[in-house]
Amino acid sequence: MRDGYSIFETTCGWMGIVEGEKGLRRIFLPHANPEDIEATIRRTFPQASQNARAIEPATSIFAHYFEGESIPADLPVDWSGYPTFSIKVWRTAQTIPWGKVRSYKWVSLRMKRPFASRAIGNALGKNPFPILVPCHRVVRSDGRLGGFSAPSGIALKRKMLEMEGLKFDAKGRVRLQR
C-alpha cells in the first residue's frame, strides 16, 4: 500500500495527515491555507497520493480536537525509521493527560535521563505526531512555554493549552502540576 494523505480544515487552519499500511506516518499542524500544507506534504512524502476517503476517520478526530475534544490514545502509529531515544521521548509525552502540562525536566526524570532536557526538547521539536504525541503539553520548568515548531509557533501552543482548560498568569506562564 502506498502512503496516502489528506488535507482538511480545522478551526485553527489547514492540517494534513499521512497514513501508511502500519498507521499514521505524519501529522501536520495547521497552516494558513491548503496550498501551503499540500506543498509541505509533497516535499516530505513525494510518493504519497491524496486519499481523503481512506483517511476520513483520522481527519475527523483531529478536526474535532480543535473543537475541544480529546484524541483517542489507540490510533495506530508507524514508529519505524525514527531514533529509539526520540520514540521514548514521544511515548513519555503521551502519558501527559489532557489539560495538564509537565516540564522538560519531568520528561527527563521519567526517562531516567536527568541531564537530557535539551535532547528531549530537540526530540519534541521533531515530533512527527503532534496532538497524538502531545508535545505542546511540555513546557519549561518555570511555566514558560518554550518553543513550538508549528507554523504559528508558540501562539498555537498556547491556544491548544487554553483549549484544554489551562490558564496563564500575567507573564504568560502556565502553572505546572507535580
Cα dist. 59→3, 34, 144, 155 in Å? 15, 14, 30, 22
Note if 135 is an active site residue.
yes
Give residues with Cβ within 8 angstroms of 114, minimum separation 6.
Answer: 105, 108
Cα dist. 135→38, 39, 68, 79, 105 in Å? 23, 24, 17, 16, 13
25's grid cell: 506516518
122's grid cell: 530537540
Identify the active-site residue in 107, 132, 135, 174: 135
Instruction: Give the catalytic positions in this structure.
Output: 135
